[in-house]
Amino acid sequence: MLLRMMAISSASLALLGSTYLGAAQAATPYDGNWSVVIITQRGDCDKAYRYAVRVEDGTVKYGGDGSFDIRGKVGSGGQVQAKISRGDQSATATGRLSAKTGAGTWTGKSPQKQCGGRWEAERR
């Protein structure tokens, strides 16, 4: 009887442990912290910007403090669509993430400027 109770307890602990570990895993393979550099190739904008980005359940969010708003989605194959805005300035980005890196293009505008270029990301 004692052995049977120990076996049931062990099985319960194993199930509880696997449930806990499963909950701790990322909801998508792209979830986590990313560092994204946006490089200007067209227009009169700053040469580069770097952003801390967080992906949670496939949703792209700004990962730092400040007045930036970053919103977007990462598809199941790593396809990225995002919008970055601050005041009257905004940019859209498209591209793809892999397990550790990503790349794509962006275009931006404000009342005074239009710019564009590429972006690169790496997992942190």
If you ran DSSP here, which 8-state letter would residue 100 be given?
S
Cα–Cα distance, 19 to 14 (Å, whole number): 9
**pLDDT one-digit tens code per residue, 27-36:** 899 999 999 9
**Which single residue is written with the structure tokens 């912290």?**
33
Label residue 106 exposed, middle or buried (CB < 10 Å: 0-12, 13-18, 19+).
Answer: buried
Kindly state the average pLDDT of the residues 35-46: 94
Domain positions in the chain: 32-123
Cα–Cα distance, 77 to 117 (Å, whole number): 23
Q: What local confidence, expressed as pLDDT, does residue 26 receive? A: 63
Number of C-beta neighbours around residue 87 at 10 A: 10
**pLDDT one-digit tens code per residue, 58-76:** 999 999 887 889 999 999 9
**pLDDT one-digit tens code per residue, 11-21:** 333 333 333 34
Number of C-beta neighbours around residue 11 at 10 A: 10
**Do 72 and 59 contact (CB within 8 A), yes or no?**
yes
Q: 32-123 — its CATH code? A: 2.40.160.90
Say which residues have a Cβ less than 8 Å from residue 2's Cβ, sequence separation at least 6.
Answer: none
Residue 25's pLDDT band (boundaries 50, 70, 90)? Answer: low
The identity of residue 6, as a single letter, is M
